[in-house]
């Protein structure tokens, strides 16, 4: 019998506000929802957005726009970066931000938006924790006519802003596999791949993890029994505990490849690998970019597909203001993302030092575009993503 490989399995797989709005111009004071870059909008541009918005939709309190923002958890580096970025841009724009901590509790998330619904907030930017709670989060805002932008985890029927997980995950997986191939040669095909997932968040999490696997499979032909799906709660502690539980199943002399849902959970996984004495044969790629100090210093945590959480507001705030200004904004807007390695980490964070890459590390992935296009087509054909098409890039 021919063994089933990861590549074969993959190849066999197959208007937010409800208003009729005028079309968005080429850009809205520099904001192009179809091409969000790394640059932050200027104070002048933000204030012009606010002026246009107020001319169409006056603030509910009669004086100043108020944005309600919920964060996943106050101890989450990703959420803290989101918060800091939003508050900085809001100050430039003359917009007030009310922040509520979901404390990693979906019920708290519902309570927070219910509170926002009783106050004069003009928009809510929400960090959903559990897709099953999406209707409960949306309902109190709908009752008051308050529009919602969902960050990363979608709320069906609302605007969505987040990462192009198909492309970002595929790129991260490709980079991980190509680096392993350059370092270990043919032995890379005997590697174990650990996919650190976060199933609670639903389609967004599954898409990110599936895309990482697809990227690896475009380079290496790993047997399915060499792929371990490690379900976690996306915290450092959860990552450490879950990885620690499987260390005895792993061959310490074989290559170990790790792709994680987030940098935060990967930091715990990598710590378990280090304490377990398996660092010498391990390579890991994170997603998010909230813990780049580990990319700069940890030999296992070699790269992160950074989403620049401090720059999420570069898209989220202009999305809200453009909508309030009566502009037609796409239902989904992809955030800027890029691969960060020890060679360019200082360009992203000036407090960190760059270092020369070893010979077996490239600066970026060389993506098999045909394999990627086939993968995207399989996503569009997958009924699992029905109703969540906002997460998918266009089929090529």
Tokens 């979901």 sit at which residue?
102
**Contact 159/128 with Cβ under 8 angstroms?**
no
**HEC letters along 339-357:** EECCCCHHHHCCCCCCCCC
CB 129 within 8 A of CB 201: yes
Max CA separation in the chain (angstroms)? 72
**Ordered strands of the 256-260 beta sheet:** 227-231, 192-197, 256-260, 282-288, 301-306, 338-340
Q: In order of start, what are the domains of the chain with their CATH numbers?
A: 15-163+310-334 (3.40.50.2300), 164-306+341-377 (3.40.50.2300)
d(CA 71, CA 316): 14
pLDDT in tens, 120-166: 999 999 999 888 999 999 999 999 999 999 999 999 999 999 999 99
What is the DSSP code string of 164-216? -HHHHHHHHHHHHHHHHHHHHGGGGGG-EEEEEE-GGGTHHHHHHHHHHHHHH
pLDDT at 12: 40
Give the model confidence (pLDDT) of 35-55 as tens digits: 999 999 999 999 999 999 999
Helix 106-117 and helix 134-144, axial crossing angle in degrees, nearest 10: 0
pLDDT at 181 over 80: yes
The residue whose two tokens read 């990482």 is 212
Tens digit of pLDDT for each residue in 324-368? 999 999 989 999 999 999 999 999 999 999 999 999 999 999 999
- The 3-state DSSP class for residue 58 equals coil
pLDDT digits (tens, 9 = 90+) for 183-195: 999 999 999 999 9
Cβ–Cβ < 8 Å for 252, 278 = yes
Q: How far is CA 244 from CA 36, 55, 241, 276, 369, in A?
A: 39, 57, 5, 8, 36
């Amino acid at each position: 019998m021919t063994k089933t490989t990861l590549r074969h399995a993959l190849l066999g797989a197959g208007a937010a506000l409800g208003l009729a709005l005028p079309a968005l111009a080429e850009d809205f004071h520099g904001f192009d929802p179809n091409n969000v870059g790394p640059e932050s909008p200027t104070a002048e541009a933000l204030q012009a957005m606010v002026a246009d918005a107020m001319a169409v939709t006056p603030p509910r309190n009669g004086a100043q726009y108020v944005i309600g923002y919920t964060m996943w958890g106050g101890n989450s580096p990703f959420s803290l970066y989101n918060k800091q970025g939003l508050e900085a841009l809001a100050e430039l724009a003359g917009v007030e931000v009310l922040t509520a901590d979901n404390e990693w509790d979906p019920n708290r998330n519902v309570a927070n938006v219910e509170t926002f619904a009783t106050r004069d907030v003009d928009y809510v930017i929400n960090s959903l924790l559990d897709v099953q709670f999406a209707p409960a989060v949306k309902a109190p805002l709908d009752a008051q006519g308050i529009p919602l932008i969902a960050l990363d985890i979608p709320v069906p029927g609302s605007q969505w802003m987040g990462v192009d997980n198909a492309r970002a995950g595929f790129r991260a997986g490709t980079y991980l596999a190509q680096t392993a191939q350059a370092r270990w040669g043919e032995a890379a095909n005997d590697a174990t791949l650990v996919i650190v997932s976060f199933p609670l968040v639903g389609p967004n999490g599954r898409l990110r993890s599936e895309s990482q696997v697809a990227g690896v499979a475009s380079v290496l032909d790993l047997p399915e029994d060499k792929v371990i799906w490690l379900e976690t709660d996306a915290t450092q502690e959860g990552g450490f505990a879950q990885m620690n539980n499987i260390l005895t199943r792993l061959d310490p002399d074989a290559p170990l490849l790790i792709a994680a849902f987030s940098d935060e959970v990967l930091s715990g996984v990598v710590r378990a690998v280090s304490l377990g004495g398996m660092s010498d044969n391990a390579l890991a790629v994170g997603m998010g970019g909230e813990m780049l100090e580990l990319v700069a210093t940890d030999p296992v945590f070699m790269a992160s597909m950074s989403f620049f959480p401090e720059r999420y507001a570069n898209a989220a705030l202009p999305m809200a203001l453009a909508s309030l200004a009566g502009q037609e904004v796409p239902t989904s807007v992809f955030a800027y993302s890029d691969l960060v390695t020890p060679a360019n980490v200082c360009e992203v964070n000036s407090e960190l030092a760059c270092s020369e890459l070893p010979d077996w590390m490239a600066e970026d992935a060389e993506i098999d575009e045909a394999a990627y296009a086939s993968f995207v087509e399989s996503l569009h054909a997958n009924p699992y993503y029905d109703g969540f098409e906002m997460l998918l890039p266009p089929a090529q």
